[in-house]
Amino acid sequence: MKDNPPLQTIVAWVIITALAVFGIFAPSLFGMDGFKGGYAISFVSFFMVICGIIVIAIYSGRARAVSRILKSDNVLAHWTYDQAEWNEYAEKQFVEEKKEKSALFYVIAAFALFFGIVFFLIDNESGLWVLVLMLILIGVIAFTAWFTAWYNHRQNLKYLGETYITADSIYINRQLHTWRGLGAKLESVDLDKHKAHAMLKLVYSAPTRTGFQDYTVRIPVPRGKEAEAEQIYQKLQQDS
């Protein structure tokens, strides 16, 4: 697990943002009437540019965090798993992630639909284009939410589990969770030793466009690492 997925995300969003910048000026370049969809295309493109800048800024920090972890800077533990215990975790995680992605989709879709309706009420003709494009955007977001959950599950099944734990982040099978900077905070930590396989559970909060949001990370404890998990639990509990 030595590659850096957040860096790949940055590259993708740089391309998307560049295309969105072109989209802002495309109606003028191609002589498209602003009141016949030109302004709508420019507005949505501008919206995507803002989103792109935010995503690139956020993932730049995440890419640096992953780089530090992979260099083993201040790593408390580096766990690997056998196939059976990891597959069991992957299936449970898939169910939980679908629930979380669905909740986030409804929030973003509500905002997009709100802006689309507002523009339509202000100007029925050009606003209709904004509303249609926002509906398309909602469809794209829905697909992205579904695809992300499916892709993460596929990655979990494709790669045998691996976890890095530091004092301020978790990097579990190519997914980074961090409560360092930007107002993020570790809210709670729990070690469940009463199941067939021990599970380390962390809840942290991080700022989003709609305020602070809680995130839950479930880390399966490999067989034979229970004592190490207890030490990590004690340390993180002191920091929370």
The DSSP annotation for 78-110 comes to EEE--HHHHHHHHHHHHHHHHHHHHHHHHHHHH
**Do 109 and 202 lie in a common domain?**
yes
User: What's the Cα-to-Cα distance from 101 to each of 23, 107, 112, 141, 185, rounded to whole Å?
Assistant: 28, 10, 16, 10, 21
**Do 174 and 87 lie in a common domain?**
yes
**Do 67 and 79 lie in a common domain?**
no
**Do 43 and 114 lie in a common domain?**
no
**Do 62 and 89 lie in a common domain?**
no
pTM above 0.85, yes or no: no
The pair of three-digit structure tokens given for residue 2, joined into one six-digit string: 């030595």
**CA trace torsion 99, 105, 110, 116 (10° rounding):** -160
Min mean pLDDT across 94-103, 127-136, 156-165 is at: 94-103
Final residue belonging to a domain, choices 20, 55, 73: 73
For every residue of 53-69, DSSP letters joined together read HHHHHHHHHHHHHHHHH
**Do 81 and 135 lie in a common domain?**
yes
CA distance 125 to 38: 12
**Do 78 and 191 lie in a common domain?**
yes
**Do 51 and 85 lie in a common domain?**
no
pLDDT digits (tens, 9 = 90+) for 105-122: 787 788 888 888 887 888
> Are the beta carbons of 83 and 160 closer than 8 angstroms?
yes
Partner residues linked to 188 by β-bridges: 203
> Are the beta carbons of 39 and 126 closer than 8 angstroms?
yes
pLDDT digits (tens, 9 = 90+) for 182-208: 778 888 999 987 766 788 999 998 876
**Do 188 and 115 lie in a common domain?**
yes
> Are the beta carbons of 168 and 180 closer than 8 angstroms?
yes
Kind and range of the H or E run holding 206: strand 199-208
**Do 6 and 68 lie in a common domain?**
yes
CA distance 107 to 98: 15
**Do 98 and 185 lie in a common domain?**
yes
How many domains does one find in the chain? 2
Would strands 162-166 and 75-80 be described as parallel, antiparallel, or unpaired?
antiparallel
Final residue belonging to a domain, choices 18, 50, 73: 73
Min mean pLDDT across 142-146, 147-151, 209-213 is at: 209-213
pLDDT attached to residue 231: 92
> Are the beta carbons of 155 and 90 closer than 8 angstroms?
no
**Do 90 and 155 lie in a common domain?**
yes
Q: Taking the mean position of all CA atoms in its chain, how far away is CA 124?
A: 35
CA distance 158 to 77: 22
What residue numbers bound the domain in which 183 lies?
74-239
